[in-house]
Amino acid sequence: MTGLNPTHDPKRKSWVDTANSTDTDFPIQNLPFGVFSEGEGPRRVGVAIGDMILDLTALEVGGKLTPGGDTKVFDQGVLNPFMGLAQTVWSQTRAKIADLLDAEGGDPSLPLVARSAAQLHLPVFVRSYTDFYASKEHATNVGCMFRDPDNALMPNWLHIPIGYNGRASTVVVSGTPVHRPNGQLKGPQDDAPRFGACQKLDIELELGALVGTPNPMGQPVGAAEAYDNIFGYVLINDWSARDIQVWEYQPLGPFQSKAFGTTISPWIVTREALEPFRAPAPERVQPLLPYLHEETPNNFDIRMEVALAPKGQDATVISRTNYKYMYYSSALQLVHHASSGCAMETGDLLGSGTISGPTPDSFGSMLELTWNGRDPVEVDGGTRTFLEDGDTVAITGWCEGAYRIGFGNCDGTILPAVDFGIS
């Protein structure tokens, strides 16, 4: 299922003029899938093209696009029915859409909606959410902060993709505000914990993989198969309450410190669209077990930025990094997840874990950028160690080559903690 095809041709242009701009996230070579509505209208499936959205639900009703044959798959306001089809159908549908939008031989009468006039929604029903810890740089930084710098990585880290099961119920689409969480807090000098609002609210810059092809319970998958089973990718901000986390995480890992909100970008960039930007994994410090062996480069060269805007102020870019630094690819995360016989379902979301690079300005969390609050970062109007109420965080990501493949924004604004009147 892998490899380049005519949808990747850098010479292709669209009759949608804005799709031919060199700085658009959504040229004809991208064609990411999402869900949108107009006003109070129903949710519809669409593809981003330039500054427009191609209405796939309308095309299916009109018979111009029938990936499900006699069964409609774009009429339920989520992409799961389409993602559950055969991988060949994903590719055929993408090729058909590209032909319809092509400047030569396309159909300019297709139903388009301006992106500026549309409301974007969560594109999938997230069946389950698993978050990993797959950046060697991030894991090393955290280990240096909270353990012995000479033994920053736990003994298992170089052999196994570390992860935990998060909360699918609080995965929200870009633009959804997130309340500062409450939880149990206990400082190193405190005799007992207290209940209150998080004081060390953080970001986690991640990439999320969405499973398309499921595997039955008891049936593992290999690395090549896992790569193909991934339908596409989204940006993730996995908001984190560091002071709640440090008290609760032993012995079973994060719980309430991560359960309160996870923001994803609204457009799913397909695996096929990212094919020209595949990149090798970093050199292995220790050889991986055979079931985690990759024959092909399964990382991607995706540039990523985090910008922070205090309320009423301009945004400041506080981090620039790249997904290619990840030690364990999304495919290997999926391999390991299914290796026990765990059934992976259409719509499962796998978070990469914080993406940090080798330099201080490429760290993917404020915990690292400020070294747990020791070194504040400059933002418009002041400094930050962790997030304050009213702050807006915007994550962007894109691939750059003969054309640009972008994900759109992954934004969220922090609201004050809810006062429960308890302590």
- Rounded CA separation 397/208 (Å): 12
Contact 237, 203 (CB under 8 A): yes
SS3 353: coil
Structure tokens at 72: 């409609």
337 is catalytic: no
Residue 353 CA to its chain's centroid (Å):
10
Pick the closest to residue 319 from 363, 254, 263, 377 (CA basis). Answer: 363
Q: List alpha helices for 13-149, DSSP H.
A: 56-61, 80-83, 87-101, 136-146
- Rounded CA separation 313/69 (Å): 51
Q: Which of 8, 138, 336, 337 is catalytic?
A: 138
- Rounded CA separation 70/58 (Å): 15
Peptide bond into 251 cis (omega under 30): yes
**Count of H-run helices and E-run strands, the chain:** 9, 26
For the chain, give percent helix, strand, coil, nearest 5: 25, 30, 50
E-state strands within 176-277: 178-179, 182-185, 194-197, 201-202, 205-211, 230-237, 240-241, 262-264, 269-270
Residue 63, CA distances (Å) to 74, 91, 380 in order:
12, 18, 51
Pick the closest to residue 259 from 274, 280, 244, 277 (CA basis). Answer: 244
Pairing status of strand 44-49 against strand 240-241: unpaired
Contact 402, 301 (CB under 8 A): no
Pairing status of strand 230-237 against strand 262-264: antiparallel
Structure tokens at 89: 């159908």
Contact 56, 90 (CB under 8 A): no
Active site residues per annotation: 138
